[in-house]
Amino acid sequence: MTLAISMAEPRSRIAARGRWRWPETVFWLALAACYVIFPGHLQLLAQVMIAGLFALSLDLLLGFCGIASMGHAAFFGIGAYAAARLALAGWSEPLTGLVFAGAVAGLCGFACSFLIGRLRSIALLMVTMAIGLLLHEAANRLTWLTGGDDGLSGYDVAPVLGLFRFDLYGRTAFLYCLGVGFLVFLALRRFVHSPFGLGLEALRENERRVPALGIAVQRQVAVVFTLSAVVAGIAGGLLAQVTQSVALEVLSFERSAGVLIMLVLGGAGHLYGALIGAAVFIVARDVLSGLDPVYWYFWLGLILAAVVLIGRGGLLGLARRLPGRFR
């Protein structure tokens, strides 16, 4: 009997978790192919990418850490306003604008993480909701900064990389969002498959045992919350640049609820679930509110109830269960 534990095995297991698989290539190629297949819906597809990025940021919190937020639109909105303010101040280069949006949102996320780290379950949901509403109310009042109810508009966004001008059909918008989305996705994918990411999943599964493993929970929460806020800020910044306007709606409770729905719809904790959920949600919203904008809320509620009562684990969970059922 030997007590020596080989370090090779855990290393190879961590590496195996993060290995790139062929369906992922297919997924991203299919997304890129949308540029050719749906040339008339590129604006909508850009919205899908933005929502997908936003849902990814929440997935980092909820799917990997088990921290549910009901006010995540706060960071999305901060990013959007930051990008718009920067453009209004005369700095119209888009990529640095995104970095700025992410940095501002990240700072706010870092500040909030100290409040979040102490709270769990319902109190956490309520405080995140209160933070979201607080910001919405603040943005509504601080008209000199946010334009209040009218929002911010009338700023120019320079061509991406100095080459690609934003056009009316959303060609540049879609490719820009796809490119930024893909890069952020790669970074997040690397992050969640790292040993630190594994520690996050431990936090989700059993919070009391995590300190026993020698992991500092408070630090983990701060890192993840900040990172999540950065990604949400980038998504918000993208929206501000692509639509060249920011409305108060970016901070609304509906947006916070919407991103939760996307994530739960797609399946939390897989990264891809966030993207798929966002795609389904945005397309469904487009179709259903096209039928009758007033009753979109009804469908929204029905989708939510259906996901909770029938579709545990979202669409990805469903896809995983199906083969087992027919075996």
Contacts (Cβ under 8 Å, ≥6 apart) of 213: 199, 202
Say whether 159 sits in a helix, a strand or coil: coil
CA proximity to 221, closest of 112, 102, 79: 112
Name which of 240 and 282 has its Cβ closer to other proteins: 282
State how far the Cα of 170 lies from the Cα of 310, in Å rounded to an integer: 37
CB of 260 to other proteins, least distance (A): 7
Contacts (Cβ under 8 Å, ≥6 apart) of 182: 28
Helices (H), 67-120: 73-88, 94-116
Angle at 80 between CA 79 and CA 81, to 5 degrees: 95
Name which of 103 and 318 has its Cβ closer to other proteins: 318
Name which of 11 and 141 has its Cβ closer to other proteins: 141
Name which of 19 and 208 has its Cβ closer to other proteins: 208
CB of 111 to other proteins, least distance (A): 12
State how far the Cα of 249 lies from the Cα of 219, in Å rounded to an integer: 32
Name which of 110 and 296 has its Cβ closer to other proteins: 296
Contacts (Cβ under 8 Å, ≥6 apart) of 132: 70, 71, 72, 73, 74, 251, 253, 256
Name which of 64 and 176 has its Cβ closer to other proteins: 64
Which residues are near other proteins by CB under 8 A? 62, 68, 70, 115, 118-123, 125-127, 129-131, 133-134, 137-138, 140-141, 253, 257, 260-261, 264, 294-298, 300-305, 307-309
CB of 233 to other proteins, least distance (A): 21
State how far the Cα of 54 lies from the Cα of 275, in Å rounded to an integer: 9
Name which of 212 and 309 has its Cβ closer to other proteins: 309
> Using an 8 Å Cβ cutoff, are 97 and 234 in contact?
no
CB of 45 to other proteins, least distance (A): 26
CB of 196 to other proteins, least distance (A): 24
> Using an 8 Å Cβ cutoff, are 124 and 132 in contact?
no
Query: CB neighbours (10 Å) of residue 103?
Result: 16
CB of 136 to other proteins, least distance (A): 9
